[in-house]
Amino acid sequence: MRTFAALALTMMCTLLGRAHASTLDEWILPAGTTELDVDASLGTPVALVQGATGVIDRFDPSTSTLTHWTVGPAVLQFAVAGQIQTHIDAAGRPFVFVTDAPHNRIGMLDVAGTRYDFWNVAIAPAKTPHALAVDHPTGQVWFSTYDGVSPPAVAVLDPLMGTISSWTLPAAIVAVTNHIDGIVVTRASGTLLVYVAIAQRNELLEINPGALTARVWPLRYGNPTRIAVNSAGEIFAPNATANLVLRFRPSINQETIWFDGAFAFAPFVSTDSAGTPFFPASNAGSPFVANLNPVGGSVTGVTPTPFVPAFATIVTAANVVAAAPSTVGLALVSPAIAPVGPAPFTHWLVPGNGALSCDPTASLRDTWFIDTATNRIARLRP
């Protein structure tokens, strides 16, 4: 009896170990297809966008099919460091929002309507949108703009009302030549809050649109670009030129930093269903995907400086073009993969890495990324 119980326990532990083993699935992209950004923030299908070809893609892993939505380069030209994000409205209809910096536009793929709408960012001085974030309860699209000539701005597009509102960031926050990239929105506190990374000044900006208040915190390291927020309202940012990751808790004005030995991080970051951040990393030229278990770290308190944001609003018309879908099947490969330390980081050696987005709806903590070395769409299940 004891022998049977021991055997059963051993089998159960083995099965549990296999159930939690890391897996990597990669789907081979067609020749000539180069994806520059990926979004899995609302689950699958995941959204992707190509470069100057005017193509938005949606990938369904359940059928291994990639659907191209072509609008043409005269209508859409995606450029790094731009961003895409999926939105599902109250009726369950999927949309994909995208920045178009070369044309100074925000675009929207209407999947059910097989059309592409775009709005010219015509409110001065907002020019050249670089990052965006969708407030899903309202469908409003927040985005950051800079071009090195006009003052940087934070703006919001309301597609239903046909308006764009813009706040020109004051010189006390950012210089004309400064870049502002990362932007996220959260309602973790019960109130809509918008966060923006100000890279050259090493600062994090918070805007409360309802109260028309803003505040900015100085950070301890340089060049925060992409940022991510989890369901608790915590902000994460990797340092794109060093081996550290930052977590900021706005509710208690607290910054925590973790250092990761010989690993350096790319600017992409996303939080998974457990609320922990994933990001592309490298070590001695080898590509990795890394995860931080945010315990410990170097903690400090930070005092914010308040500002009063002044938003100006204009009416902007939507331009509509047809979006032609075409579907192609992708071949699947599954390279062997295993996690390595040191804690509190976990690293997975991958064939290649690039833009990354976690699926916070997936219990298996799916992390999607673009394998730029082999030109594949990749899914890590850690």
DSSP line for 260-318: -TT-EE-S--EE-TTS-EEEEEEETTEEEEEEE---S-EEEE---EEE----EEEE-PP
| Residue 164 scores a pLDDT above 80 | yes
pLDDT at 12: 33
262: its two tokens: 């010989």
Tens digits of residue pLDDT in 2-48:
332 332 333 233 333 334 699 999 999 999 999 999 999 999 999 99
pLDDT value of residue 124 = 77
CA distance 297 to 339: 21
> Cβ(258)–Cβ(220) under 8 Å?
no
- Collapsing DSSP to helix, strand or coil, 245 comes out as strand
pLDDT of residue 9: 32
Q: What is the pLDDT of residues 305-347, one digit of tens each?
A: 999 999 999 999 999 999 989 999 999 999 999 999 899 999 9
- How far is C-alpha 135 from the geometric centre of its chain's CA atoms? 14
- Spell out the domain ranges in the chain: 24-381
**Average pLDDT, whole number, for the chain?**
91
User: Is 24-381 in CATH node 2.130.10.10?
Assistant: yes
The whole-number pLDDT of residue 81 equals 78
What's the rounded Cα separation, in Å, for the pair 199 and 178? 7
The tokens describing 75, both together, are 């209508």
pTM, entire model: 0.93
